[in-house]
């Protein structure tokens, strides 16, 4: 453990998830969005669990069981006692990221998670009460807004003193001032309410940059905001609130739609020189790009967002990020550039599939890198997915026809191994390789899974054959026929380049 690193200890209960695995991620940076696993814990029969993560700075952690996720802001050296809840029955669920509100036990009033949750509630309410009308009708004199005010009941008004709602500490500002003045009034109330806890730098920065977003939205000078929030201050690419403000501040189209004075030079830097560091140099004279680290982060974000702009080829954009990953003077920037381009390439034809280790039908480890050498068709499914079961029935017939040249793998994305075993017991006629995907917490990220059923076809080198792979019921047998024909005409060939 590094000298400045400390453990954060997390224990608690997840009564709805007994015998499943709780995984703790972090987002490595908020440009690439890449996630890495910090720790994992088996949830015991009684629903309890315990885990430890090593941190050098406070971080926003993602706690996940299957596709259900909750947020924990963890401070090095602290201990947390939490409850990981089941999503509300009326809450819409998604396959990959269904949010859950973590409960905190034995938490004092200065607990950063409770502070952030309270501030987020005030912030969201402020936007709901004011920004919608500001955006639609420039706010001042809005008849819609006036009508809404007349119909509002039980609001806490810290300016006008209306009746209190259930949360008597909630910050609500009722006024017909201009939006910028409302932002200033809201910020003042925030400082009054939360200022006592600003000794926690992570929380102070969380509030500070969230309020900076409102200033930017209200029309404040971008040059003034740069001076106040970025100049001569360290960049924080792993701080969620800082990067949310950063992404809004640098949302201008300086790369996707560059100004006339730079248009030709930026296009040459990307399409000809393929150099992200060259773009950063071109922006050096701009007063909003004086920090070398921020300049590089802005270039990476701009390159990522410029895909599809029509000015540059995707290959040139990716090559420009590759160049930053190898040549930028900052080690952290090189790492972020590498992760960003890796995320952009994920799922593309010709991409080498990341290795993974899953459990087979005997509960033994099964490693992907040990099973390459043939074309492989992978289908992701779950026992609760009716469309998946239809595809598996079709795949059963295709396996009989093509198994001599193609390996077939079905990966179960159910939450627990018992459900996987249950499916196998009731579908003994399906004899291709079955694997349980629940034990690799990054499997969704590695395959870009957003829904199931989902299919992938790889060549003998383990590279993806196509950007999109048809499912069994979508005509994938046409691709299988090509593979079979190619194998009969030229035995021993068959990488993705030969298609």
SS in 3 state form for 95-162? Answer: CCCEECCCEEECCCCCCHHHHHHHHHHHHHHHHHHHHHHHHHHCCCCCHHHHHHHHHCCCCCCCCCCC
Of residues 167 and 100, the one with the higher pLDDT is 100
Which burial class, exposed, middle or buried, applies to 357 when counting CB atoms under 10 A from its CB (0-12, 13-18, 19+)? middle
* CATH 3.40.30.10 residue window(s) in the chain: 357-498
pLDDT higher than threshold 60 for residue 54:
yes
Q: Which helix (H) or strand (E) holds 479?
A: helix 477-489
Pairing of strands 98-99, 357-360: unpaired
**What integer pLDDT is reported at residue 158 of this predicted model?**
35
For residues 126-143, average pLDDT? 62
pLDDT higher than threshold 60 for residue 445:
yes
Do the beta carbons of residue 397 and residue 475 sit within 8 Å? no
Q: Give 232-246 pLDDT, tens digit per residue.
A: 999 999 999 999 999
pLDDT higher than threshold 50 for residue 499:
no
For residues 118-146, average pLDDT? 70
pLDDT higher than threshold 70 for residue 174:
no
Kindly indicate the confidence band of residue 162, based on its pLDDT and cuts at 50, 70 and 90: very low
Of residues 201 and 68, the one with the higher pLDDT is 201
As assigned by CATH, the class of the 357-498 domain is alpha beta
Supply the angle between the helices 331-345 and 292-305 in degrees, to the nearest 10: 10
**What integer pLDDT is reported at residue 249 of this predicted model?**
95
The backbone torsions φ and ψ at residue 67, rounded to the nearest 5 degrees and listed phi first, read -95, 10
For residues 128-134, average pLDDT? 72
**What integer pLDDT is reported at residue 132 of this predicted model?**
64
**Whole-angstrom Cα distance, residue 217 to residue 376?**
50
Q: Give 270-322 pLDDT, tens digit per residue.
A: 999 999 999 999 999 999 999 999 999 999 999 999 998 888 999 999 999 99
CB atoms within 10 A of CB 121: 14
Q: Which of 247, 251, 250, 255 is nearest to 271 (CA)?
A: 255
Distances in Å between the Cα of 385 and the Cα atoms of 31, 66, 439 are: 33, 15, 19
* CATH 2.60.40.1120 residue window(s) in the chain: 6-107
Full-model pTM: 0.82
**What three-state secondary structure class fits 457?**
strand
**Whole-angstrom Cα distance, residue 13 to residue 103?**
10
**What integer pLDDT is reported at residue 83 of this predicted model?**
96
**What integer pLDDT is reported at residue 254 of this predicted model?**
84
CB within 8 A of 177, min separation 6: which ones? 185
pLDDT higher than threshold 80 for residue 230:
yes
**Whole-angstrom Cα distance, residue 333 to residue 326?**
10
The backbone torsions φ and ψ at residue 72, rounded to the nearest 5 degrees and listed phi first, read -130, 120
**CA angle 305–307–311, rounded 5-degree value:** 110
CB within 8 A of 276, min separation 6: which ones? 269, 296, 299, 300, 303, 320, 321, 323, 324, 328, 337
**What integer pLDDT is reported at residue 172 of this predicted model?**
63
**Whole-angstrom Cα distance, residue 428 to residue 30?**
45
**What integer pLDDT is reported at residue 287 of this predicted model?**
92
Supply the angle between the helices 331-345 and 314-327 in degrees, to the nearest 10: 150
**What integer pLDDT is reported at residue 308 of this predicted model?**
84
Q: What's the chain's average pLDDT?
A: 87
> Distance from first CA to last CA of the chain, Å, rounded?
48
In this structure, which CATH number among 2.30.110.10, 2.60.40.1120, 2.70.170.10, 3.40.50.920 belongs to the domain 6-107? 2.60.40.1120
**Whole-angstrom Cα distance, residue 440 to residue 446?**
10
Helix%, strand%, coil% for the chain, nearest 5: 45, 20, 40
Of residues 65 and 8, the one with the higher pLDDT is 8
The backbone torsions φ and ψ at residue 363, rounded to the nearest 5 degrees and listed phi first, read 70, 25
**What integer pLDDT is reported at residue 144 of this predicted model?**
47
**What integer pLDDT is reported at residue 177 of this predicted model?**
59
For residues 125-153, average pLDDT? 59
Strand partners, 21: 42
């Amino acid at each position: 453990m590094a000298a400045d690193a400390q453990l954060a200890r997390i224990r608690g209960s997840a009564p709805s998830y007994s015998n499943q695995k709780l995984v703790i991620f972090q987002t490595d940076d908020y440009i690439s969005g890449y996630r890495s696993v910090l720790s994992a814990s088996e949830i015991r029969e009684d629903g309890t669990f315990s885990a430890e993560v090593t941190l050098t700075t406070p971080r926003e952690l993602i706690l996940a069981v299957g596709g259900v996720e909750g947020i924990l802001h963890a401070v090095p050296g602290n201990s947390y006692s939490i409850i990981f809840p089941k999503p509300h029955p009326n809450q819409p669920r998604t396959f990959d990221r269904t949010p859950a509100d973590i409960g905190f036990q034995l938490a004092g009033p200065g607990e950063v998670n409770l502070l952030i949750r309270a501030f987020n509630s005030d912030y969201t309410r402020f936007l709901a009460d004011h920004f919608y009308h500001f955006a639609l009708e420039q706010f001042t004199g809005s008849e819609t807004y006036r009508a809404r005010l007349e119909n509002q009941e039980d609001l806490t008004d810290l300016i006008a003193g209306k009746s209190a709602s259930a949360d008597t500490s909630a910050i609500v500002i009722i006024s017909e001032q201009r939006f910028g003045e409302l932002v200033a009034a809201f910020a003042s109330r925030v400082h009054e309410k939360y200022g006592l806890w600003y000794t926690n730098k992570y929380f102070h920065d969380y509030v500070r940059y969230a309020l900076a977003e409102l200033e930017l939205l209200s029309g404040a000078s971008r040059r003034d905001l740069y001076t106040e929030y970025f100049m001569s201050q360290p960049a924080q690419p792993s701080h969620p609130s800082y990067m949310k403000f950063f992404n809004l501040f640098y949302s201008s189209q300086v790369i996707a739609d560059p100004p006339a004075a730079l248009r030709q030079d930026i296009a040459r830097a990307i399409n000809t020189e393929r150099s992200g560091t060259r773009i950063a140099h071109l922006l050096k004279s701009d007063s909003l790009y004086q920090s070398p680290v921020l300049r590089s982060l802005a270039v990476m974000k701009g390159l990522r967002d410029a895909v599809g702009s029509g000015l540059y080829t995707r290959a040139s954009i990716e090559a420009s990020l590759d160049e930053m990953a190898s040549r930028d003077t900052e080690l952290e920037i090189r790492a972020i550039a590498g992760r960003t381009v890796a995320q952009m390439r994920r799922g593309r034809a010709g991409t080498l599939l990341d290795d993974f280790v899953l459990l087979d039908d005997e509960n033994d480890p099964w490693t992907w890198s040990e099973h390459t050498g043939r074309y492989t068709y992978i289908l992701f499914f779950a026992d609760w997915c009716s469309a998946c079961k239809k595809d598996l029935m079709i795949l059963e017939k295709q396996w009989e026809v093509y198994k001599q040249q193609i390996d077939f793998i079905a990966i179960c994305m159910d939450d627990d191994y018992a459900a996987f075993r249950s499916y196998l017991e009731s579908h003994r006629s399906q004899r291709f390789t079955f694997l349980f995907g629940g034990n690799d917490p990054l499997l969704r990220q590695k395959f870009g899974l957003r829904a199931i059923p989902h299919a992938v076809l790889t060549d003998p080198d383990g590279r993806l054959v196509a950007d999109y792979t048809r499912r069994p019921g979508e005509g994938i047998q046409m691709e299988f026929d090509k593979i079979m024909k190619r194998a009969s005409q030229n035995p021993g060939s068959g990488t993705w380049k030969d298609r």
